[in-house]
Every structure is written in C-alpha cells, then in structure tokens.
C-alpha cells in the first residue's frame, strides 16, 4: 500500500459544505454560482447526498469565492468581510509576543467586524478558551463556525511553527449526520449542542511564537486555507491512529486482529475505543479505500482495475459495487466528471 498522509488525503461529505454553498448562493447571481462550482470541480455528483468533497475542491472554491464575491468570509456572516481584512489580521497577530496574546488580538480584531457574534477569551491556569457568543437569534452557520475556529487554530499554529495541540472544541449546534467529518478538521475531542461554539487550549502546551516575515505572511494568505483547514495530526483520536496504521501497511495486514496487535491492545479494546469515537474498524478501512480511490480516479493515471487492486479488492466488480455504495457514483462516472 502506498504510504499516504491520511488526513490530507481525506475527503468530507457533501453535507459538510452545504451551509457554505447556501451562503454563497445568497451572495452570488446564479450564473456566477454555476461558474464557481464548475471551476472548483464541485459537480452534481460531488454534491449528491453520498458525494465526497476533497481538500483541493475546498481550497479552490475558497480562493475563487473570497476574491470574486468581495467578501473574504463569502457570506458566512451578516456583515461582509472586505478584501485585505485577513491580511490586516495576520499583520496584527504576528506582532504578538505569545500565543495567548495572539489569540486575544484575533478576538479583538473580529469583534470590530462581526455584528452577529462576539468573541470572548477566558484565560485560566488550566485552560485558554476562545468562545463565539451570539448577539442575535440568527440561525447558526455551521460552516462559518468551523471556519473561524480553524482560522484561529491555523494562525496560532503558523506563529508556533507547528500544529498547536487543541484541548477541546465545542459547537453551538446539534450533532449533524456528518459529525465524523470534524475529526478531519480538528485535532481534539469535539462536542455538539453546547451553549457556545468554542476552542480550548492547554496553556502548558503552548510554546513560544516564531518571528514571521512579510513573505511568510503572504505565503499564508496565498495558500489559505490549504495549510490549516485539515488537521495534520495523527494522534488525537483512536480512529485516526487506526487510519494511519492502515495507510502505512499492506491490505493483507489490514485486519482488526493485526491492527489491534500493532497498537498493543486486544481487538475487543480497539472496538470499544473506536465506538467511543463514533466509528468502527470497517468504516475506517472503507473510508481510507474510498479516499485513495477518489484521489487516483481524479489523477486519471491508473485504470479502474489497477485502482481496485491497489485498495485491496479481489475484483473490479466488487470495487464497482463498493464505490457506488460509498459515493453514489460508479468509478467510471466519477472519473468522467472529475478530471
């Protein structure tokens, strides 16, 4: 099996971006919306209930929409975030002398721009928590809440020079059907249905800030959100540890028994820990197979038969059935609409 970076390879469900697309539709004429989706590779099959969205597609749509709508938060908040606002944010936080100070600067910056929410920063000996508190009764924008917390985490990681550990993430909306997608985004336990959306850090885990040049700043903006929206952590949940192991071994060793042995636990213990993450061994294995297949189908260099073999299927027919179950599309149809 190819050694891959499991979380970067990961995809999210089409429902994960539904709130974002709804915000964009309210902001864009229909012709512009069609053009944005087409240029981002978000075709009808990708947006079907079983469709999957890749990191490349999210990055492409973000970079196009943030420029062409004139709103760097793309309709996710009641007030538009005008061009160059994020550049000013980076200029502000890179002058911070500590990561808590950077998070404070982040909160005060957004409190000048947002009407419908205000950030509060609670700093104790054991926990540093940034919470997003509503000022109106407007419905929660799930993608917007995720994105602004990830921007805070991404900026802190940029200043630290590595992905900063996260203690916990809370969301002020009910657990969605696609809740497992959040494990790809946040390197921490997360809860839904909480009083406020928030991200927490352990002060003891926060190191010093690194000096960042103007060229570093422009590189962060140019790459956004590629470098920070999907977590690069492999250790924050048992499910990602299993995914990492499966991605680095052969399919002949990709059994529950051998995986549990590699992790120095019994199969029953591994099953229980995966259940605590809301998943199962087979679901993780199938998700990895699906995401490898999606990558290779989009690349267009391998035959469907070769891809079937690479992801551990004994026949192309079995792979066809599994891929259609995973995505709602056949491999050949997916390839035609995504190359």
Q: How far is CA 339 from CA 148, 274, 296, in A?
A: 31, 35, 10
How much is the mean pLDDT over the chain?
90
Burial label for 247, CB within 10 Å (0-12, 13-18, 19+), is buried
Neighbours of 252 (CB within 10 A): 9
Neighbours of 96 (CB within 10 A): 18
At 99 the pLDDT is 96
pLDDT digits (tens, 9 = 90+) for 25-45: 999 999 999 999 999 988 776
Q: Is the pLDDT of residue 7 over 70?
A: no
Band (9; pLDDT cuts 50, 70, 90): low
Contacts 24+ apart (CB under 8 A), 66-70: 68/32, 68/36, 69/24, 69/27, 69/28
Count how many Cα atoms sit within 13 Å of the Cα of residue 50 in the half-sphere of its side chain. Answer: 12
Dihedral sign, Cα of residue 307, residue 311, residue 313, residue 318: negative
pLDDT digits (tens, 9 = 90+) for 157-184: 999 998 899 999 999 999 999 998 898 8
At 34 the pLDDT is 94
Q: At what angle do helices 85-93 and 142-160 cross, to 10 degrees?
A: 40
Q: What CATH fold (topology level) applies to the domain 238-337?
A: Arc Repressor Mutant, subunit A (1.10.10)
Domain extent listing, the chain: 11-79, 85-213, 238-337
Least confident of 66-75, 228-237, 289-298, 323-332: 228-237
At 236 the pLDDT is 57
Stretch 283-287: mean pLDDT, rounded?
91
pLDDT digits (tens, 9 = 90+) for 104-132: 999 999 999 999 999 999 999 899 999 99
Contacts 24+ apart (CB under 8 A), 211-215: 212/94, 212/158, 212/159
Q: At what angle do helices 281-299 and 331-338 cross, to 10 degrees?
A: 50
Q: Indicate the SS3 state at residue 191.
A: strand
Q: Is the pLDDT of residue 69 over 90?
A: yes
């Amino acid at each position: 099996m190819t050694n891959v970076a499991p979380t970067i390879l990961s995809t999210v469900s089409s429902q994960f971006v539904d709130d974002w697309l709804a915000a964009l539709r309210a902001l864009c004429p229909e012709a512009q919306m069609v053009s944005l989706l087409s240029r981002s590779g978000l075709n009808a099959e990708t947006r079907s209930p079983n469709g999957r969205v890749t990191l490349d597609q999210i990055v492409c749509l973000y970079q196009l929409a943030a420029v062409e709508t004139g709103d760097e938060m793309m309709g996710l908040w009641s007030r538009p975030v005008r061009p160059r606002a994020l550049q000013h944010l980076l200029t502000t936080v890179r002058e911070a002398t500590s990561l808590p100070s950077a998070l404070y600067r982040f909160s005060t910056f957004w409190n000048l721009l947002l009407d419908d929410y205000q950030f509060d920063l609670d700093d104790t000996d054991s926990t540093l928590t940034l919470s997003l508190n509503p000022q109106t009764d407007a419905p929660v924008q799930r993608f917007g809440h995720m994105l602004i917390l990830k921007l805070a985490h991404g900026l802190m990681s940029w200043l630290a020079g590595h992905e900063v550990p996260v203690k916990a993430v809370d969301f002020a909306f009910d657990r969605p059907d696609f809740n497992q997608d959040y494990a790809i985004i946040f390197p921490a336990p997360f809860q839904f249905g909480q009083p406020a959306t928030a991200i927490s850090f352990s002060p003891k885990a926060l190191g010093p800030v690194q000096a960042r040049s103007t060229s570093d700043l422009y590189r962060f903006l140019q790459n956004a959100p590629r470098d920070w929206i999907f977590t690069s952590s492999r250790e924050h949940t048992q499910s990602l540890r299993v995914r990492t192991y499966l991605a680095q071994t052969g399919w002949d060793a990709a059994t529950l028994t051998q995986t549990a042995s590699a992790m120095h636990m019994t199969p029953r213990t591994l099953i229980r820990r995966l259940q605590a993450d809301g998943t199962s061994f087979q679901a993780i294995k199938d998700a990895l197979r699906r995401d490898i297949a999606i990558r290779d189908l989009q690349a267009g260099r391998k035959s469907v038969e070769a891809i079937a073999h690479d992801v551990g299927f004994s026949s192309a027919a079995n792979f066809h059935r599994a891929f259609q179950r995973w995505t709602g599309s056949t491999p050949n149809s997916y390839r035609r609409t995504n190359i």
